[in-house]
């Protein structure tokens, strides 16, 4: 089982934007909610505007780029 690294949570004063991504895992229709700090959400939005991709596709591509070491 792969454990994702833990990162510090945004401070309570920092504005957080939530993005919900629907997954089709064994047709379960699961959803993942990603909480991004405002600056992260802006970076994602700018990248999506520049590339013409939607956020869920960008996040999917990032996940596909994860390499596992055993």
Residue 41 three-state SS: helix
Instruction: Name the percent of the chain lying above pLDDT 70.
Output: 63
pLDDT at 4: 45
* Statement: residue 2 has pLDDT above 50: no
pLDDT at res. 38: 84
**Higher pLDDT, residue 19 or 59:** 59
Asked if 22 and 11 count as a contact pair (C-beta separation under 8 A), the reply is no
pTM of the model: 0.61
- Given a cut of 90, whether residue 25 has pLDDT beyond it is no
Q: Over pLDDT 90: what percentage of the chain?
A: 21
Phi, psi of 27 (to 5 degrees): 60, 25
Q: For 18-30, give the DSSP string.
A: EEEEE--STT---
**H/E element holding 16?**
strand 16-22
């Amino acid at each position: 089982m792969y454990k994702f690294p833990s990162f510090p949570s945004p401070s309570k004063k920092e504005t957080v934007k939530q993005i919900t991504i629907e997954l089709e895992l064994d047709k379960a229709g699961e959803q993942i909610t990603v909480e991004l700090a405002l600056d992260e959400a802006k970076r994602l939005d700018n990248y999506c505007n520049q590339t013409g991709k939607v956020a869920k596709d960008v996040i999917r591509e990032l996940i596909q780029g994860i390499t596992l070491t055993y």
